[in-house]
């Protein structure tokens, strides 16, 4: 039944190019600027993730990105990082406003995980609800990863959620902590809606009984 009600991509193991974003306190307005918050769909935000940094001119939901001036200095505009699926960041990533669109934008860009020494609480919680894995590692481990990325362009990181490990070239670099319930949800691709729908039969039985007991409410 779970496979029939999934609304979120499961996360088990993932290997991908890691993009280094060597800035602390990256806020949600930087991840997806406010002018793009006009839709409540989860898709379509990737082309404007980090919009103010990716482009040299101002963008908007009605403006086609194809004709805009790209900032060649921004890491995600450089090959091979334009194909990265893991983001390496500094402390307090995702601070600022509580917009869930920030997670949607990262997910739509193609990121499956973000590694940082710390995250803003609301962004951290929103990530789990949308299938993006936020991994907290010690600052010295993050420093080491930045150095490895600097030394090897296109470095790939392998993440094993079940084992809770981060690996580089077959070597375990670190283990990470994760709440058991959140881990279960990610492994099975279960967001809040899917979790609720697992109890669809019980909900229907309750509603049928309620209609009989209080028909005037219906």
Q: pLDDT tens, 14-61? A: 999 999 999 999 999 999 999 999 888 888 999 999 999 999 999 998
Angle at 14 between CA 12 and CA 16, to 5 degrees: 170
Q: What is the number of residues in the chain?
A: 218
Question: Residue 158 CB: number of other CB atoms within 10 A?
Answer: 18
Query: What residues pair up with 19 in beta bridges, in sequence order?
Result: 87
pLDDT for 207 equals 78
Strand pairing class (86-88; 13-20): parallel
pLDDT for 1 equals 38
* Domain spans in the chain, listed from the N-terminal domain onward: 2-190
> What topology does CATH give the domain 2-190?
Aconitase; domain 4 (3.20.19)
Q: Phi and psi for 83 in degrees, rounded to 5?
A: -110, 15
Cis peptide bond prior to 98, omega within 30° of 0: no
DSSP class of residue 142 equals H
pTM of the model: 0.87
**pLDDT tens digits in sequence order for the chain, 218 residues long:** 344 444 688 999 999 999 999 999 999 999 999 999 988 888 899 999 999 999 999 999 889 999 899 999 999 999 999 999 999 999 999 999 989 999 999 999 999 999 999 999 999 999 999 999 999 999 999 999 999 999 999 999 999 999 999 999 999 999 999 999 999 999 998 876 666 666 677 777 777 778 888 888 77
DSSP class of residue 90 equals -
pLDDT for 3 equals 40
């Amino acid at each position: 039944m779970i496979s029939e009600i999934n609304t979120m991509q499961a996360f088990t193991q993932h290997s991908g190019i890691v993009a280094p974003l060597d800035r602390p306190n990256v806020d949600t307005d930087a991840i997806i600027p406010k002018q793009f918050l006009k839709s409540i769909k989860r898709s379509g935000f990737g082309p404007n993730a980090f919009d103010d940094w990716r482009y040299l001119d101002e963008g908007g939901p009605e403006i086609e990105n194809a004709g805009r001036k790209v900032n060649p200095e921004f890491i995600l505009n450089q090959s091979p990082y334009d194909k990265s699926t893991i983001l390496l960041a500094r402390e307090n990533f995702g601070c600022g406003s509580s917009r869930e669109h920030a997670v949607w934008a990262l997910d739509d860009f193609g990121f499956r995980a973000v590694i940082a020494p710390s995250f803003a609480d609301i962004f951290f919680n929103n990530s789990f609800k949308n299938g993006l894995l936020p991994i907290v590692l010690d600052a010295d481990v993050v420093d080491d990863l930045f150095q490895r990325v600097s030394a090897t362009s296109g470095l790939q990181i392998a993440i094993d959620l079940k084992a809770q490990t981060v690996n580089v070239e077959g070597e375990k670099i670190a283990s990470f902590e994760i709440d058991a319930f959140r881990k279960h949800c990610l492994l099975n691709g279960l967001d809040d809606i899917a979790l609720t729908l697992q109890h669809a039969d019980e909900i229907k039985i309750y509603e049928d009984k309620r209609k009989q007991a209080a028909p005037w409410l219906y």
